């Protein structure tokens, strides 16, 4: 029993709680992102996401293990792509671009909601553990959600930004790129791990979070204190 007690006392409980909080927040951000893709595609005439069980709040349906690991380690990542059949769209390239844009847009809205709740906590809840934990969770949600949204706006296949950009290309070129986009994911993983994206993305994340803080009247220095 003594050895077990000593082991428990030496555990980094703060680190463990941070990891669990990061996992929970990541699952929320990923679920909102992918569900938004599926809902917009469905509204535009493509039932593929619904048929494949992706119009759900169950995060297990949306997890990509590598993308989730990236979110937990470098605060940017991705989820399992929602299946889309361009043949069901009336205007395929435009509707694909709108479907792709829905994911990042939902993340920015989620971040604004989290900061709005955090603003209420900051201004109306007395100082204490409840407010501290609440502010941390709201900030964590906002940071990961903005990171997920911005990362997926990069014009690199298979990220959402590529689908938005490629919708401007001729049909023949557009179709060919879509067929091979899955092979680009290895390059995306390597570039993210090398930190090539970290500088520009961190700068963009700070600017977006600062703007959202201005809208919600959440003190940006709290976000800086926790994450920058």
Q: Catalytic site residues?
A: 34
Q: Of 188, 173, 148, 32, give the one whose Cα is nearest residue 93.
A: 173
Q: How far apart are CA 147 and CA 209, in angstroms?
A: 10
Cβ(163)–Cβ(100) below 8 Å: yes
Helix (H, G, I), strand (E, B) or coil at 41: helix
Tokens, residue 59: 């995060």
125-160 burial by CB neighbour count: b if 16+ within 10 A, else e? eeeeeeeeebbbbbbbbbbbbbbbbbbbbbebbbbb
Q: Of 44, 154, 160, give the one whose Cα is nearest residue 97.
A: 160
Q: Give the per-residue SS3 of 67-97.
A: HHHHHHHHCCCCCCCCCCCHHHCCCHHHHHH
């Amino acid at each position: 029993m003594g050895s077990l007690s000593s082991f428990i006392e030496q555990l980094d409980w703060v680190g463990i709680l941070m990891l669990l909080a990061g996992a929970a927040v990541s699952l929320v951000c990923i679920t909102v992102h992918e569900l938004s893709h599926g809902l917009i595609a469905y509204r535009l005439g493509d039932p593929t996401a619904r048929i494949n069980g992706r119009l759900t709040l169950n995060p297990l349906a949306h997890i990509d293990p590598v993308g989730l690991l990236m979110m937990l380690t470098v605060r940017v990542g991705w989820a399992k792509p929602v299946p889309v059949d361009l043949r069901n769209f009336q205007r395929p390239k435009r509707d694909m671009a709108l479907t792709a844009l829905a994911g990042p847009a939902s993340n920015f809205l989620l971040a604004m909601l989290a900061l709005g709740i955090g603003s209420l906590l900051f201004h109306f809840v007395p100082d204490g553990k409840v407010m501290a934990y609440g502010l941390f969770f709201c900030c964590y949600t906002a940071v990961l959600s903005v990171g997920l949204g911005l990362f997926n706006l990069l014009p690199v296949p298979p990220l959402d930004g590529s689908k938005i950009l490629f919708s401007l290309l001729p049909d023949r070129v557009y179709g060919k790129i879509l067929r091979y986009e899955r092979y680009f994911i290895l390059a995306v993983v390597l570039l993210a791990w090398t930190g090539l994206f970290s500088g520009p993305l961190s700068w963009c994340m700070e600017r977006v979070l600062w703007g959202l803080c201005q809208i919600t009247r959440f003190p940006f220095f709290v976000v800086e204190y926790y994450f920058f």
